[in-house]
């Protein structure tokens, strides 16, 4: 459908910018490896800063490396409208997870310049540090430290597998900034992101109006059985930790499916000991996570799953230890901000669907302090956290155009 506005962002320029950034940490399979606080990340950050400064933005960096690029408004007393996402990637990540939100924000700034628009409120574009958590094991690290979810001193001490700490890595790439890493007065936060799931594509929708983020509960599980010889140990004498783990994995899948298409339940990581084909496994360690848009469902899962997994362990003659890593409630986004996304999409004539984010995003922590909304765009086959992650130029353009409209409307609203 045709847009009913003359104020257009430049889709081709945005796509060129996405492709330019994807060269930094490009992998042979067409993905990106831009792990947080590495030299590759530094290169991405420097490129981003240079583009921001060329667009007349003033860039500041906070104590955890979050970057803020500011465009002044007409009224110096108004709180800024924020937008952003992250430039770091998974070890075998795609070109668009995070980068789309940051670079679409830059295109919004460039278009405001081109169109000669002076907004009432200032606008700030953010590149959050370490959204992915792949290097230091703490996802949403930069926005979490900023929002006070994590203590800065604790975060500095987190180490990667080589023993390099966050503090050392920040200094090494020159991005331990002077601004305090804590919430400041801001009017709103908008984040554009690929859906990382198949729903929009499957339903043929251009824009996902994200109303909030799912509730989650995460566990570490350890099953202890007994190593013994695979050829000589009869069924009655076996304490096979892997057979028990297999039944728990099946349980996770069944508990997910019992909740229909909104359910999420995954065992993504699993280690077998001693992991020798001739030995009945004596120990298995694995991750378990459930997500659902409704808090009460996560509460029910958190009550049912440990009990039913315990029955499986008992029946298999093994012991199960479940450590709950965290349980977080559903995070609703701000109705006013969500409505601006809805209005912008309608004005532009895009097909839409309301959606709850299944993934964690920086927006979830920002929303604890500042009115927040997110915009989703489709990705091919719903694939993300995968080098084959892919989107079309017109999908990126549509998302950026909605971001432009929503941010502009918020920055110019009558207070």
* Residue 308 touching its own copies (CB under 8 A): no
User: Dihedral angle at the C-alpha atoms of 268, 273, 276, 281, nearest 10 degrees?
Assistant: -90
CB of 220 vs its own copies, minimal distance in Å: 9
* Residue 199 touching its own copies (CB under 8 A): yes
Q: Residue 167 belongs to what H/E stretch?
A: helix 166-173
**Three-state DSSP class for 290?**
strand
Task: Specify the residue, 364 or 411, whose C-beta has the smaller distance to its own copies.
Answer: 364
Site for its own copies in 158-197 (CB under 8 A): 195-197
- Return the residue of 72, 289, 299, 339 that touches its own copies, per CB under 8 A: 289
User: Dihedral angle at the C-alpha atoms of 351, 119, 361, 14, nearest 10 degrees?
Assistant: 60
* Residue 46 touching its own copies (CB under 8 A): no
In the block, residue with structure tokens 């199960």:
320
CA 208/CA 179 separation, integer angstroms:
34
CB of 281 vs its own copies, minimal distance in Å: 6
- Return the residue of 11, 306, 317, 358 that touches its own copies, per CB under 8 A: 358
Site for its own copies in 47-106 (CB under 8 A): 90-92
CB of 88 vs its own copies, minimal distance in Å: 14
* Residue 229 touching its own copies (CB under 8 A): yes
CA 52/CA 60 separation, integer angstroms:
11
CA 380/CA 142 separation, integer angstroms:
28
Quick one: which of 327, 408, 402, 331 has its CA closest to 369? 331
CB of 198 vs its own copies, minimal distance in Å: 5
- Return the residue of 77, 178, 236, 414 that touches its own copies, per CB under 8 A: 236
- Return the residue of 19, 237, 296, 329 that touches its own copies, per CB under 8 A: 237
* Residue 211 touching its own copies (CB under 8 A): no
| Residue 97 φ then ψ, to 5° | -65, 105
CB of 298 vs its own copies, minimal distance in Å: 13
């Amino acid at each position: 459908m045709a847009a009913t506005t003359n104020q257009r962002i430049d889709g081709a320029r945005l796509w060129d910018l996405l492709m330019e950034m994807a060269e930094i940490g490009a992998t042979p399979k067409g993905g990106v490896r831009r792990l947080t606080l590495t030299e590759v990340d530094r290169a991405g950050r420097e490129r981003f800063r240079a583009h921001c400064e060329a667009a007349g933005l003033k860039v500041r960096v906070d104590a955890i490396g979050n970057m803020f690029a500011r465009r002044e408004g007409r009224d110096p007393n108004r709180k800024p409208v924020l937008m952003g996402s992250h430039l770091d990637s998974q070890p075998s990540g795609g070109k668009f997870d995070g980068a789309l939100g940051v670079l679409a924000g830059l295109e919004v700034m460039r278009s405001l310049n081109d169109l000669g628009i002076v907004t009432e409120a200032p606008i700030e574009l953010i590149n959050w540090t370490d959204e992915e958590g792949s290097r230091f094991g703490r996802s949403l690290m930069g926005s979490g430290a900023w929002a006070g979810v994590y203590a800065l001193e604790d975060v500095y001490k987190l180490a990667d597998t080589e023993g390099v700490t966050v503090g050392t890595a920040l200094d090494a790439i020159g991005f331990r900034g002077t601004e305090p890493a804590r919430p400041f007065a801001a009017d709103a936060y908008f984040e554009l992101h690929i859906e990382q799931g198949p729903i929009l594509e499957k339903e043929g929708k251009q824009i996902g109006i994200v109303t909030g983020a799912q509730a989650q509960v995460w566990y570490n599980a350890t099953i202890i059985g007994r190593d013994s010889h695979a050829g000589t140990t009869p069924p009655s004498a076996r304490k096979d930790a892997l057979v028990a783990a297999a039944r728990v994995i099946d349980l996770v899948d069944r508990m997910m499916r019992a909740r229909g298409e909104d359910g999420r339940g995954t065992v993504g990581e699993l280690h077998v000991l001693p992991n020798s084909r001739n030995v009945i496994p004596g120990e298995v360690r694995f991750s378990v996570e459930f997500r659902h848009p409704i808090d009460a469902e996560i509460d029910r899962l958190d009550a049912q799953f440990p009990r039913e997994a315990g029955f499986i362990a008992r029946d298999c003659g093994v012991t199960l230890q479940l450590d709950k890593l965290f349980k977080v409630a559903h995070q609703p986004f701000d109705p006013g901000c969500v409505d601006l996304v809805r209005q912008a999409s309608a004005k532009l004539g895009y097909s839409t669907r309301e959606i709850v984010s299944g993934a964690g995003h920086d927006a979830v922590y920002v929303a604890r302090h500042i009115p927040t909304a997110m915009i989703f765009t489709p990705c091919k086959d719903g694939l993300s956290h995968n080098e084959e992650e892919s989107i079309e130029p017109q999908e990126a353009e549509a998302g950026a155009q909605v971001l432009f409209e929503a941010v502009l409307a918020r920055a110019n609203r009558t207070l």
